[in-house]
Chains A and B, each alone.
Chain A
Amino acid sequence: MADKFHDEILNLKCDVVNMARFGRTMLNDSMIALQLQDLEMARGVKGRKVTLQEQHDSLEDRIFTMIALYQPVARDLRTLVCSLMIVQSSERIGRYGKDIANATRHLADTDTTGNFISIPHMSELVVGMIDDATLAYEQENLNTIEDMSKRDDVVDSLRTSIFRECLTYMMEDPRTITRCTHYVMISRFLERSGDHACKMAEKIHYMVTGERTEIK
């Protein structure tokens, strides 16, 4: 019985990793679509929302069932709690990708302002954080998430500087207001995605060590 349960946990973890990568790829692709101003690609990202939601619902349902049927304890319990958290964060991250894809529609066929400022760089950092959190979860190894707090600080400061930079553009030239407002929103979506990576890292830390930690 216990073997069956532990096999189920292993399968669940594989599927959670797949979902995390699915959400992360939605975010990453939305940024590529934005930079290439590729509306077709942006539409593709938006279309994946349904699959994302289905994965979220089915994984959540499986985790609830496993808790109800097996009453897990210790590391098994911590793994399920962490998996649930990752499923929720991945769904949010994927939806931010969808939001960025939405913005792409409004930004296409207009000149970019300041070459998107630091948004692509910010996106690289955030996607890297999500990748490393997913890897840490998959391998139950904390090495890749040790410096999560520092990386999140960088992302936060990028968001602040993007906001300031956009303000100056908007003051100089009111025609940039729509575009720059979208930039501010996008940097906010990316910053939130980075926060989700930190939340995932916190729960992975709990899963592996049994101790709760806060990444500020």
Chain B
Amino acid sequence: MVIHMTECKEIIQVDHVNLWYGDSLALRDVTIGMPDRQVTALIGPSGCGKSTLIRCLNRMNDLVDTCRIQGTVNFHSKNIYASDVDPVDIRRKIGMVFQRPNPFPKSIYENVSYGPRVHGIKERKQLDAIVEKSLKRAALWDEVKDRLHDSAMGLSGGQQQRLCIARTLAVEPEVILMDEPCSALDPIATAKIENLIEELKTEYCVVIVTHNMQQASRVSDYTGFMYMGELAEFGTTRQIFEAPRETLTENYITGRFG
């Protein structure tokens, strides 16, 4: 298998990673780089390991007792699985947005200011500024600026998802991981998130897992196709969707699978 590396500077490098849940091998010798200020999409059928891979990137798999990992995941050339690395610090720098919007049952303001407060910012003015900046970056500010102290649970699904993105941005991450961020949203809310991803990539490295291949082709610069725990093909999104090298990729994206 030929893996064509990206031409951009890679902020995350996954090197020969194997991962087991108990006895079953979920990732098989995966090597992939995530370029800075670009969107990388991971696609593949259910159970192919794309969510497992994205969860490796900020040690979310630590929370699964039976999970065992081999190989290295370098972030700024430092292995995030090294013993002296604090996973909480990693998860601040590498934020994550999930499939279903999961705002805290608190106000909009508190949702966004929660992270910075945990990290020790107490001053009201400073928190106000962070909340405004984060909501603006998440393209939600104009819709909620007059009701910052209303419950976040009253927002629509798409707004809640953007709030979750704002909450991630509030702690100033460098990488944003998105695991199926639009699969619970309608097409209009999806379009807003996709536009947002386009803006976010000017400042952040974005990695997105998606079942929706059109979404991958619309929003990403690079695409990795995963199959049965392996990275079957990786390349520019244009190459993957115009002329994939692997027959497996071709069959999957054209719906000839199975």
Contact in complex: B255, A74 (CB < 8 Å): no
Main secondary structure on chain B at its contact with chain A? helix
Query: With A210-B243, A211-B243 in contact, do A74 and B214 touch (Cβ < 8 Å)?
Result: no
Note all chain B residues with C-beta closer than 8 A to A74. 241-244, 249-250, 253-254
* Chain A residues with a Cβ closer than 8 Å to the other chain, count: 15
Note all chain A residues with C-beta closer than 8 A to B241. 73-74, 77
Note all chain A residues with C-beta closer than 8 A to B213. 73
Contact with B along A1-33 (1 / 0, CB 8 A): 110011000000000000000000000000000
Contact in complex: A2, B254 (CB < 8 Å): yes
Contact in complex: B255, A71 (CB < 8 Å): no
Q: Which positions 45-66 of chain B face chain A at CB distance < 8 Å?
A: none
Q: Which positions 159-211 of chain B face chain A at CB distance < 8 Å?
A: none
Bound form: Cα–Cα A17–B256 in Å: 24
**How distant is A13 from chain B, measured CB to nearest CB, in Å?**
15
Count the A-B residue pairs with Cβ separation under 8 angstroms: how many? 36
**How distant is B187 from chain A, measured CB to nearest CB, in Å?**
14
A71 closest partner in B (C-beta): B214
B72 at the interface (CB under 8 A from A): no
Bound form: Cα–Cα A74–B246 in Å: 11
A78 at the interface (CB under 8 A from B): yes
Query: With A2-B255, A74-B250 in contact, do A210 and B214 touch (Cβ < 8 Å)?
Result: no
**How distant is B127 from chain A, measured CB to nearest CB, in Å?**
44
Bound form: Cα–Cα A71–B214 in Å: 8
A164 at the interface (CB under 8 A from B): no
Contact in complex: B242, A210 (CB < 8 Å): yes
B217 at the interface (CB under 8 A from A): yes
Contact in complex: A2, B217 (CB < 8 Å): no
Note all chain A residues with C-beta closer than 8 A to B250. 74-75
Note all chain B residues with C-beta closer than 8 A to A5. 255
Contact with B along A69-88 (1 / 0, CB 8 A): 00111111110000000000
B250 closest partner in A (C-beta): A74
Bound form: Cα–Cα A52–B253 in Å: 35
B244 closest partner in A (C-beta): A74
Contact with B along A48-84 (1 / 0, CB 8 A): 0000000000000000000000011111111000000
Q: Write the residues of chain A forming the contact surface with B, with a CB cutoff of 8 angstroms.
A: 1-2, 5-6, 71-78, 209-211
